[in-house]
Amino acid sequence: MMFQAIDDIAALEALYGTPGEASLAKVATRITTEYRRLLEASPFFTLASVGPEGLDCSPRGEAGGAFTIHDDKTLIIPDRRGNNRIDTLRNIVRDPRVAFCFLIPGSKTTVRLNGTAIVTADADLLASMERDGQRPRSAIVVTIGEIYTQCGRAVMRAGLWDPARHVEPGSIPTPGDVLAAQTDGGIDGR
């Protein structure tokens, strides 16, 4: 099946029109008091990065906060124990551009943030981020380019926080099921 692509910005803008004043006025180049409150309410976000092999969008989350607001232009994210793929970290080392989408449980408000990042293994910084006796191996230091709220329609349409729409865990494959299927049972991830 072939679809006709819109490959001209003028055609795309003709289709959608001009952004509303409010959608542009809410953009800040630093963390304001209001944005700080929204970020501090978010225990979960996705982090998008780009590198020579392509794109990556990584989920990050932690009760009590998955990042630290260092100042009004800087976030610091500990890289907690995971699968060691380090796709995001590889990308940041080669291309510092990053984008985030922060979710706030129970709220339709999401926050988007774009900026640049570095990866550091600064011993003092990592020591300050120790949790439950575990230090992160590295940290991502993000310099904010822009931050803004996103229209909540997608969260509302998805019914993301509606318990009646939650999926029963037993009704979908587990990551272990996926791993076993991908390896013809060679790796049992259950």
DSSP string, 136-162: -SEEEEEEEEEEEEE-THHHHHHTTT-
pTM: 0.90
| pLDDT for position 164 | 93
Helix (H) or strand (E) segment spanning residue 177: helix 175-182
Q: What three-state secondary structure class fits 13?
A: helix
Structure tokens at 143: 């310099």
Contact 134, 145 (CB under 8 A): no
Helix, strand, coil content of the chain in percent (nearest 5): 30, 30, 40
What b/e sequence results for 168-187 when a residue is b if at least 16 CB atoms lie within 10 Å of its CB, and e otherwise?
Answer: eeeeeeeeeeebbeeeeeee
Structure tokens at 105: 């449980």
Rounded CA-CA distance 26/39 in Å is: 15
Q: What is the full per-residue pLDDT of the chain (190 aa) written as tens digits?
A: 899 999 999 999 999 999 889 889 899 999 999 999 999 999 999 999 999 989 999 999 998 889 999 999 999 999 998 888 999 999 999 999 999 999 999 999 999 999 999 999 999 999 999 999 999 999 999 999 999 999 889 999 999 999 999 999 889 988 888 888 888 877 766 6
Single-letter residue type at 104: I
Rounded CA-CA distance 148/29 in Å is: 9
* Dihedral angle computed from the Cα positions of residues 137, 90, 36 and 114, in that order, rounded to the nearest 10 degrees: 170
Structure tokens at 97: 């551009």
Rounded CA-CA distance 127/42 in Å is: 23
Rounded CA-CA distance 75/69 in Å is: 5
| pLDDT for position 189 | 64
| pLDDT for position 168 | 92
| pLDDT for position 91 | 97
Give Cβ neighbours of residue 84 (< 8 Å, ≥ 6 apart): none
